[in-house]
Amino acid sequence: MSDEADLIEPARKLFAGPITFLKSAPALVHLPDADYPEVAFAGRSNVGKSSLLNALTNRNGLARTSNTPGRTQELNFFDVGGGGGEPPTLRLVDMPGYGYAKAPPAVVRQWRFLINDYLRGRQVLKRTLVLIDARHGIKEVDREVMAMLDHAAVGYRLVLTKADKIKATDLAAVTQATAEEARKRPAAHPDIIATSSEGGLGIPELRAAVLEAIG
């Protein structure tokens, strides 16, 4: 973790610089060229992914937030760094939320195929951050995605969201339980990051983790 601690200030500077929306990809044929390292964000619908991305980038409207679960139905790509003719340092990928039971079955299948094919086939994908609601812990649908990542040998890290919504003792317990599950997974990073989009908890560490992931 000392390496990531050293990255907190460089990561702060990076995310304080240019961050621009690149494109949305409703299917693999629409993916941008695989020119730059990518870090993807995955999570159940309503886990707070858009709010976390906005907090991470210190921009209120970068990722659309909605009270309607399942609104994001495509891969959204954002360039981080660069500008002024310089190439980006990395790309963030906002993935469709999974596990939304009220979505039509055909839409659920489309999301699953898109996520599965992207995760398995994207050579520049350096890490996936799997967001877990701290109030609920890991659900079975999260385990399905984790198993898919393990099988594809795609490195991932578990990030707790909405950590400010529960008591400190409960947060400590869910963090420990999440870490214990991560240690059983071959492709999972062993360290858990607890975050709060509203209070800023863990945001500097998350930025550093993104920078660390691209090496």
| pLDDT tens profile 7-31 | 999 999 999 999 999 999 988 999 9
| pLDDT tens profile 93-147 | 999 888 766 677 787 787 778 888 898 889 999 999 999 999 999 999 999 899 9
Are 102 and 37 in contact, with CB atoms under 8 Å apart?
no
Q: Which two tokens stand for residue 54?
A: 């906005």
Q: What is the pLDDT of residue 66?
A: 47
146-167: average pLDDT: 95
Please enumerate in sequence order all residues whose Cβ is within 8 A of that of 109, keeping only pairs 6 or more positions apart, or say none.
none
Give residue for tokens 């812990």: 137
Q: What is the pLDDT of residue 78?
A: 95
Please enumerate in sequence order all residues whose Cβ is within 8 A of that of 106, keeping only pairs 6 or more positions apart, or say none.
none
What share of residues in the chain are helix, strand, coil (percent, to 5)? 40, 20, 40
Radius of gyration of the chain (CA): 16
Nearest to 185 by CA among 154, 215, 146, 213: 146
Higher pLDDT, 73 or 134: 134
Ranges of each domain in the chain: 2-213
Q: How would residue 1 be classed by pLDDT, with cut points 50, 70 and 90?
A: very low
Residue 98 to residue 69: CA distance in whole angstroms: 9
44-70: average pLDDT: 80
Are 45 and 100 in contact, with CB atoms under 8 Å apart?
yes
Percent of the chain with pLDDT strictly greater than 90: 71
170-183: average pLDDT: 98
Are 10 and 211 in contact, with CB atoms under 8 Å apart?
yes
CATH topology of domain 2-213: Rossmann fold (3.40.50)
Q: How would residue 72 be classed by pLDDT, with cut points 50, 70 and 90?
A: low
| Dihedral, 111, 113, 118, 119 alpha carbons, nearest 10 | 100
Q: What is the pLDDT of residue 73?
A: 72
pTM value is 0.92
Length of the chain: 215
Residue 77 to residue 62: CA distance in whole angstroms: 11
Higher pLDDT, 84 or 66: 84
Q: How would residue 60 be classed by pLDDT, with cut points 50, 70 and 90?
A: confident
pLDDT higher than 60, residue 67: no
Q: Which two tokens stand for residue 184?
A: 């059983």
Q: What is the pLDDT of residue 27?
A: 87
